[in-house]
Amino acid sequence: MDKKTIKYLDSLLSGCLAAILALSFLMFTFVFIINWEDWFFGTKLAGPLAGVYLFAKAAVAFTLIFLLVQYTRYRTAGTVAAVAYFGFLFLDSSVTIRQNTAGQQPFSALFAVFLAIPVLLLILTLVTGKPGTGRDADQRDTPEKCVDIPQDKGKRLTMHPLLLLLGGMVLLMIGYIIVIPLGIHTIITHTPFLHQMALPPARDSLITRVSPKGTLGWQVMIKGYNLGNAEVVSVPDGGYIIFGPYWISGEKGLVNRAVNINRDGTMVWDWRRISEYGPQGEIPDTIQLIIPENGEFLLILDNGRTVRLDSQGNTLSEGITTDEERTYEAGIFFPVHADVSPLPAPSASVRIRSENGQSTFFTIEDTVSHKELQNVDVVNPTSDGGYLVSASVKP
């Protein structure tokens, strides 16, 4: 093998080693920033322990890059350390993969390639006996040169462009994931007109009663609209209770809501509990189910608590959910799949596909306020085989 070929291979492998170390550093840094979870020889780590492990792997990768690109005279030692580093990652990933795939996959091909690159570079260095053959040795840290060139005395050591690039990418990563979102959130929440721009649009809900044959019955308009899949429970007097998280214009946050509508389409009561979080946050006190009991209503919340309402929707008491109440599911009807024509429009064609393959077609329009439908939010089946269709309209 001639010197030109050796020099080319040396440069190629050195560049590849620097690239995979940089990739490993960025990869582990990214995971460290967004989620402290990792695997250690088949054992899942989470929390601070996983954070320390991810930070250590990123720190070792950066140290090796620094050693290889900034001090080329130590390249042999750096290559040996890289072999040990990627060998550890290869064994760690192999044990984890075999365990999680029940032995179907023996190892990670990616980490096998990562390990092969420093091994080949180390072999080439040992065979040729000339570490640094493929590139000029760094003269900035050579003591002899510092003596021969007096004007360089006291001159600061400049960083290699690759190190500066990696540092810049980490800063951009931190800014994109943490600093920028927090900054935007702070600005929006403390600037009145921007805060209003970030809120969901102001809409109201048009509730339409559809018979089992697809005939439209009554319609009722309620303020606000549901941001999730609102659910429906039928009550003994033939009416319905619609419940779920709603956004109501003018409120400070999401509203956990239950609306009682009688069989004639008149709203009887409207129970609300405003969430302490904003519209983009979690929704505490979400209603899981509602149990009608002797003219009263028991609301089961997802935080393990209950709220008992009288026949007019007034709060009577609050308590802790019992085991019997947690398992109660009678009378709960979950949303069904429906195809809706493109909106906004004055009306919407809805096709519901049932489990037995039959389809129900109907067309709804806003006959209460005569405004365009913005979206059909959810179609809920009722106990008699009909449907309650909740559509949002501009207020």
**How would you write the pLDDT of the chain (395 residues) with one tens digit per residue?**
567 777 888 888 888 888 888 888 888 888 888 888 888 888 888 788 888 888 889 888 888 888 888 777 778 888 898 899 999 999 988 888 887 776 777 888 888 898 998 899 888 888 876 554 444 444 444 444 443 434 444 455 565 676 667 667 777 766 666 666 666 656 655 555 444 555 677 889 999 999 988 899 999 999 998 877 788 888 888 899 999 888 888 777 778 899 999 999 999 999 998 875 544 445 567 888 888 888 899 988 877 788 999 999 999 998 887 765 555 554 445 567 778 888 888 898 988 876 666 788 889 999 888 888 988 888 888 888 889 999 999 87
CA 167 to chain centre: 26
Are 283 and 342 members of one domain? yes
Estimate the crossing angle of helix 109-128 against helix 75-100, to 10 degrees: 160
Same domain flag for 135 and 42? yes
Query: What's the pLDDT score for residue 259?
Result: 94
Concatenating the DSSP letter of every residue in 59-119 gives HHHHHHHHHHHH-GGGHHHHHHHHHHHHHHHHHHHHHHHHHHTTTS--S-HHHHHHHHHHH
> Residue 258: its pLDDT value, please?
93
Residue 271 is predicted with a pLDDT of: 93
pLDDT digits (tens, 9 = 90+) for 31-79: 888 888 888 888 888 788 888 888 889 888 888 888 888 777 778 888 8
**DSSP element (H, E) containing 300:** strand 296-301
Whether 87 maps to a domain, the answer reads yes
d(CA 192, CA 282): 22
The total number of structural domains in the chain stands at 2
What would the two tokens of residue 308 be?
A: 């008992």
197 domain-assigned = no
* CATH code assigned at 372: 2.40.10.480
What angle do helix axes 161-174 and 3-34 make, rounded to 10 degrees? 20
356 in any annotated domain: yes
Structure tokens at 82: 């890289």
Pick the closest to residue 373 from 338, 340, 348 (CA basis). 348
pTM of the shown model: 0.49
Determine, yes or no, domain membership for 33.
yes
pLDDT of residue 213: 85
pLDDT confidence of residue 382? 86
What pLDDT score was predicted for residue 173? 66
Q: Tell me, what's the pLDDT at 221? A: 93
CB count in 10 Å sphere of residue 11? 13
| Same domain? 251 vs 104 | no
SS3 346: coil
Q: Are residues 31 and 148 in the same domain?
A: yes
Its domain, for residue 234, covers 204-393
- Quote the CA–CA distance of 279 and 255 in Å, as a whole number: 9
- Nearest CA among 252, 213, 258, 255 for reference residue 232: 258
Residue 150 and residue 256 share a domain: no
